[in-house]
Amino acid sequence: MSARGRVLELFYDVVSPYSWIGFEVFCRYKACWNIDFRFRPAFLGGIMKESGNKPPALVPNKFSYMVTDLQRLAKFCQVPLSLPHDPFESIFEKGSLYAMRFITAVQVSHPELVEQVSREIWMRIWSRDEDITQQDSLFAAGIAAGIPERTVRKLLEVASTPEVKSRLKAATDEVLQFGAFGMPTFITHQNGESQMFFGSDRFELMANFLGEEWKGPVPRGQVG
């Protein structure tokens, strides 16, 4: 934990567009709040299954609202989000398991690169309507994040190892113990107390709990 014993964890999955919005705001506040910020890649599919949650997109009216809501929220938070031509296919048919294992592999050996790699994968699926399930796609994301070609190839191999699979499952199981049912899920730790906050629009509440100042989704003109 940080010197002041305060931690803010972000559990996320790149298949979730709301997670991307929460991720970008989270990254901007690393320079504003005196807190230990931690990226915690996890698997949304496992959270949905174990919590018994049902995807809101399966409700037609809710899905229609989400499309509009995402566009408004992305504009407000200055995140270049654009829905893929078939969101249902991207989320439910293709999924993100291998992508999240790749990000977990990066976290194991190159934690300083997790932010940029995650962002590049989000850009692929939620900005440019590109694949994130194939090795070539993740290779391209790794290169775009500035990782040397040889290192990216090694990370892709490591992503399929039992160690990485177990680590991703452990992170997923951990956030489930806090009561998670979707993503993004934030866990705050302060003075021995932990609280869970769900969604990309709970930063003001987290700021209040942590005794920090909320300056909107783009503090000090920061973007990305």
Question: In the prediction, which pLDDT does 120 show?
Answer: 98
Percent of the chain surpassing pLDDT 90: 83
Where helices occur in 86-216 by DSSP H, the ranges are: 87-88, 97-109, 114-126, 135-144, 149-158, 162-177, 203-210
Q: 2-56, pLDDT tens digit by residue?
A: 446 899 999 999 999 999 999 999 999 999 999 999 999 999 999 999 999 988 8
* pTM confidence score: 0.94
Does residue 222 surpass a pLDDT of 90? Answer: no
Q: 143-177, pLDDT tens digit by residue?
A: 999 999 999 999 999 999 999 999 999 999 999 99
pLDDT band at 1 (very low <50, low <70, confident <90, very high): very low
Q: 174-193, pLDDT tens digit by residue?
A: 999 999 999 999 999 998 89
Other CB atoms within 10 Å distance of the CB of residue 92: 14
Mean pLDDT of 77-97: 88
Distance, in Å, from the CA atom of 35 to the CA atom of 210, rounded to the nearest integer, reads 9
Question: In the prediction, which pLDDT does 123 show?
Answer: 97
CATH T-level fold of 7-217: Glutaredoxin (3.40.30)
- State residue 197 phi and psi, 5-degree precision: -130, 130
Cα 1 from chain centre:
21
Domain boundaries, the chain: 7-217
